[in-house]
Homo-oligomer: A and B are copies of this chain.
Amino acid sequence: MRNLKMTLAYDGTLFHGWQVQPDQITVQGTVQSVLTEIDGPPVLVHGSGRTDAGVHALGQVVSFNLNNPIPAENLSRAMNHVLPDSIRVLHAAEAAPDFHARRSAVAKTYEYRIWRGEICAPFLSRYVYPHPYPLNEDSMKQAAPLFAGTHDFCSLGAAGGEEKQTTVRTIYSSQLQRDGDCLVYRVRGTGFLYRMVRNIVGTLLDVGRGNLKPEDVGQILKSKQRSEAGPTAPPRGLFLVEVEY
C-alpha cells in the first residue's frame, strides 16, 4: 500500500466545508469519491485540518493510502481532469509510510483579506470580506502581534478543530498589513482551534471600530471566556495558505 501526500487549492464558496457530511457536497467528500473511482476500494483522505463552508485553500495538504500504482504526477493530472474547477491538485508525491497530513503538521499559515475600498469588484467578492466602514487600522495593526506566543486560546475558539483536547496553541507570527485596498491579516502557528482565525479577525475588527483597545487582547486571552472576544468574521475572506511539515 502506498502513502501519498497531495497539495490542494480550492474555492470553498459552494462547498459545505472540508469534512464529509451526509447529503452535503464537501471538499473531502469530492476528493475521496474521485480517488475511490481511480482506486476501487474506498479511499480515506486525511486533511491537515478542516476548513468551514466558504473558507478557501491555497495549499491544503492531504494524505491517503492507495493501491493503484499510477505515478503521482499522472494521478494529479487525472484528478484535475475529473474534479470540478473549484478544486485543483497542485502537487502529488510519495510520502513516508508514517506521514499523516494532520498529525505530521508542524505549522500552518492562514490569511484573511478585508476589502477596504468603497466598491468591491464582483470578481473578488467571494475572496474578501468587504468592509467599507471606518476602522482605526493603526490600532488593529498594534493589536495583531499581541496574539503571538503560547497561550490558552479558549476565548478565541473551541477544541475540536484539530481533534486535540488542549486549547493551548503557539502562534509564531500575527501581522496585519495593507495591500492596496485590502487589509491582510496573516497568521502562522502550530495549529488553530475551531474558528480561531476568524475569531481573532472579528476581535481585530472590534479594535478597529473602537469597541476594544489593543491592550485588551491580553485580558481577552487571560479571561478564557469566548464572550470577551469579538464576533466571528465571515468565512469568505479566509484562506489556508500553507501547511508545513
Q: A: which residues have CB within 8 A of B? A: 9-11, 56, 80, 85-90, 119-123, 125-127, 130
Q: How many chain copies?
A: 2
The 3 closest A-B pairs by CB, nearest first: A85-B125, A11-B122, A86-B122
User: Nearest B residue to A239 by beta-carbon distance?
Assistant: B123
User: Nearest B residue to A89 by beta-carbon distance?
Assistant: B119
**With A and B bound together, what is the CA distance between A8 and B233 in angstroms?**
28
Jot down 15 A-B pairs with beta carbons below 8 A, ordered by A. A9-B122, A9-B123, A11-B122, A11-B123, A11-B125, A56-B123, A85-B120, A85-B126, A86-B122, A86-B125, A88-B120, A88-B121, A90-B119, A123-B126, A123-B127
Q: Does B56 contact A87, Cβ atoms closer than 8 Å?
A: no
CB distance from A142 to the nearest CB of B (A): 31
CB distance from A57 to the nearest CB of B (A): 9
List residues of chain B with CB within 8 A of the CB of A123: 9, 11, 56, 126-127
Q: Does A88 contact B119, Cβ atoms closer than 8 Å?
A: yes
User: Nearest B residue to A12 by beta-carbon distance?
Assistant: B122
User: Nearest B residue to A80 by beta-carbon distance?
Assistant: B119
CB distance from A80 to the nearest CB of B (A): 7
User: Nearest B residue to A91 by beta-carbon distance?
Assistant: B119
Q: Does A87 contact B11, Cβ atoms closer than 8 Å?
A: no
**With A and B bound together, what is the CA distance between A56 and B122 in angstroms?**
9
**With A and B bound together, what is the CA distance between A121 and B9 in angstroms?**
7
User: Nearest B residue to A77 by beta-carbon distance?
Assistant: B118
List residues of chain B with CB within 8 A of the CB of A121: 9, 88
Q: Does B122 contact A85, Cβ atoms closer than 8 Å?
A: yes
**With A and B bound together, what is the CA distance between A99 and B154 in angstroms?**
61
CB distance from A121 to the nearest CB of B (A): 6
CB distance from A86 to the nearest CB of B (A): 5
